[in-house]
Amino acid sequence: MIQKHMKFLVYSLMMLMPFGLIFFLYNRVATISIDIQKIYDKKPLVALLVIGSGCAGDSAAVYGARGNVKTVDIAGEPGGQLNGTTKVENMPGLANQLGPDIMQKLQKQAEDFGAEFVYDSVKEVDFSEWPYKVVTQDDKTLYALTIVIATGASPLKLGVKGEAELWGKGVTTCAICDAPFHKGKEVVVIGGGDSAIEEALQLSSYASKVTILVRKDFMRAAPTMQNRLKEVDNVVVLYNTEVQEIIGNDEDGVTTVHIINNKTNVTSSMSVSGVFLAIGHVPNSQLFKKFIKVDADGYIVTKGRSQKTSLPGVFAAGDVEDKVYRQAGVAAGSGIRAALDALAFLQEHGINASIMQKVEENFFTLQKHSKSVHAGPVIFKITTMADFELLKTQQAVVVVDVYTDPCPSCKVLMPTFEKVAQKFADSATFIKINANEVSEIARSYQISTVPTILLLKNGNLVDRLNGAVEESELRTFIQQVL
Ligand code: NDP
């Protein structure tokens, strides 16, 4: 009998072992030791490190800096999704303001309280030990006492044939960046949410016709947004319609989309120059998954009515943790909560003003040179095509950043471009051209997206790069002709 019981016990333990292992692993990350002594030998320290500078990140930075703790924001793509939005109707108290204006004011508010913004992105984190280690693309290493992850979400892609090949050659997610390249042409927008309408309205001022392709027989966009479509006469909506394939070539970019009506199975083709995707977003949690709990869709899991993650001292806010509301106002609110949670964490662990004073010398300070890098003294701004034609014949190697003012990725690229320009100032000439001011540049070099970097040697185009590339990629790109 006893033997039978023992067998049952052993069998039960064996069955439970995998669960025990999972429980152990999960709790291992949650039992990080927060030992105040550890802050004395770590350098450079940050009391509150915000990752991301959209609504959630900037709001956290306002509250962190106002809470009188050293607050540093690794900006990533400055301004987040609101930077790519035009009129924002539903931000409480800020009726009908432009997205980039709201973000500029929010950042300034944080800076006025003392928050420092670093125009860099995080490339790797190590949360296995506290203070938490964060390494940037620029190879800066920081040790954070608390962290607010506010990395937002990135646009989803369709995954259809031709999409990858024609990315940046007519297939894009940024109407505010690329609309001017489709002047007088026909384009399609894919999606049935608020973003699809937003993109279509931006495009309607340039394109001759905008067709929104919606896979269901209704749009999920807010009724007020749908009403705005009635104000324009060159936007039409095709319901129950999906893209099967995008056709085009390197020379002309996108030329055609093959579509199918999913009710009737009737297929057809449309001649278009652009395919604008607005089919939702995926949370940017990839870097943190190894250390903190995320759900099946990749959203960071927060605890109850707080912004706490599974790791002590690490908080998450905005679209990286919110799969329900995904509104700018909600993101701002969650950023505030995350910063308040972080301030409370510091207090709870005895990291008060006097302790911070003791380690003041260990705190990160924004290098003066990172500001002067933004001034970009080695970059020439060209404002006419004639000047460009002249310059390219006079200089052996010319690197051109083609940008527009409202384009968020262009803002991300500019500091990288300026930094690389300083490094290669002796061997190449760096110029920037605003594609809205010098529209011939787009025609002459078949540019259909910004930012685009052109590499010329002895006046001839050698290669091009699209998007907000990283410093190492830009350096390698230029080195091919040096
Ligand atoms: P949503 O998730 O709201 O909408 C995505 C749309 O894309 C849906 O219509 C969805 O279809 C469609 N879709 C998804 N996958 C595919 C696919 N593979 N093929 C075709 N269609 C597809 O994303 P949004 O970016 O529009 O909005 C995100 C959040 O941001 C929302 O909360 C929105 O309110 C907010 N927002 C607010 C704005 C404003 O107030 N000015 C502007 C822009 C966004 P289906 O419906 O069938 O799932």
Q: Are 234 and 209 in contact (CB under 8 A)?
A: yes
- Asked whether 326 lines ligand 1 (CB < 6 A), one says yes
- Asked whether 97 lines ligand 1 (CB < 6 A), one says no
Q: Are 162 and 245 in contact (CB under 8 A)?
A: yes
Q: In the chain, what is the straight-line distance between the N-terminal and C-terminal CA atoms, in Å?
A: 84
Supply the DSSP symbol for 289.
T
DSSP H helices, 31-98, are: 55-66
Residue with the nearest Cα to atom 13 of ligand 1?
Answer: 279
CA distances from 354 to 96, 259, 317 (A): 44, 65, 29
Backbone torsions φ then ψ of 60, nearest 5 degrees: -60, -40
Q: How far apart are CA 145 and CA 347, in angstroms?
A: 11
Helix or strand or coil: residue 399? Answer: strand
CA of 177 from ligand 1 middle (Å) equals 19
**Which tokens go with 288?**
């943190």
CA of 271 from ligand 1 middle (Å) equals 24
Q: What is the number of residues in the chain?
A: 482
**Which tokens go with 461?**
């185009």
CA of 193 from ligand 1 middle (Å) equals 3
**Which tokens go with 77?**
């793509």
Q: How far apart are CA 344 and CA 307, in angstroms?
A: 12
Helix or strand or coil: residue 469? Answer: coil
- Asked whether 90 lines ligand 1 (CB < 6 A), one says yes
**Which tokens go with 421?**
């320009």
Helices (H) and strands (E) counted in the chain, each on its own, are: 13, 24
Collect the ranges in the chain with pLDDT lower than 50.
1-2, 21-29, 368-376
Beta strand 460-466 pairing with 452-457: antiparallel
Tell which one of 194, 229, 244, 281 to mutate to probe ligand 1, the residue whose CB is within 8 A of the most ligand atoms.
194
**Which tokens go with 203?**
């495009």
Indicate the burial class of 33 (C-beta count within 10 angstroms; 0-12, 13-18, 19 or more). Answer: exposed
Backbone torsions φ then ψ of 413, nearest 5 degrees: -70, -35
Nearest atom, ligand 1, residue 155 CA: 25
Q: How far apart are CA 410 and CA 403, in angstroms?
A: 6
Amino acid 469: pLDDT? 85
- Asked whether 85 lines ligand 1 (CB < 6 A), one says yes
CA distances from 238 to 173, 224, 231, 277 (A): 19, 19, 18, 15
Q: How far apart are CA 21 and CA 212, in angstroms?
A: 50
CA distances from 54 to 26, 83, 238, 405, 439 (A): 30, 8, 33, 18, 30
Residue with the nearest Cα to atom 38 of ligand 1?
Answer: 194
- Amino acid sitting at position 362: N
CA of 220 from ligand 1 middle (Å) equals 7
CA of 263 from ligand 1 middle (Å) equals 21
Q: Which helix (H) or strand (E) holds 15?
A: helix 2-30
For residue 165, the number of C-alpha atoms closer than 13 Å in the C-beta half-sphere is 14
CA of 253 from ligand 1 middle (Å) equals 26
Residue with the nearest Cα to atom 21 of ligand 1?
Answer: 191
Picking from 232, 245, 160, 240, the residue whose alpha carbon sits closest to that of residue 200 is: 232
Does residue 407 carry a catalytic annotation? yes
- Asked whether 322 lines ligand 1 (CB < 6 A), one says no
pTM for this model (two decimals):
0.79
DSSP string of 146-168? EEEE---EEE-----BTTTTTBT
Does residue 55 carry a catalytic annotation? no
Tell which one of 195, 246, 275 to mutate to probe ligand 1, the residue whose CB is within 8 A of the most ligand atoms.
195
Q: Are 191 and 218 in contact (CB under 8 A)?
A: no
Q: Are 138 and 119 in contact (CB under 8 A)?
A: no
Q: How far apart are CA 389 and CA 393, in angstroms?
A: 7
Q: Are 187 and 89 in contact (CB under 8 A)?
A: no
Q: How far apart are CA 174 and CA 111, in angstroms?
A: 28
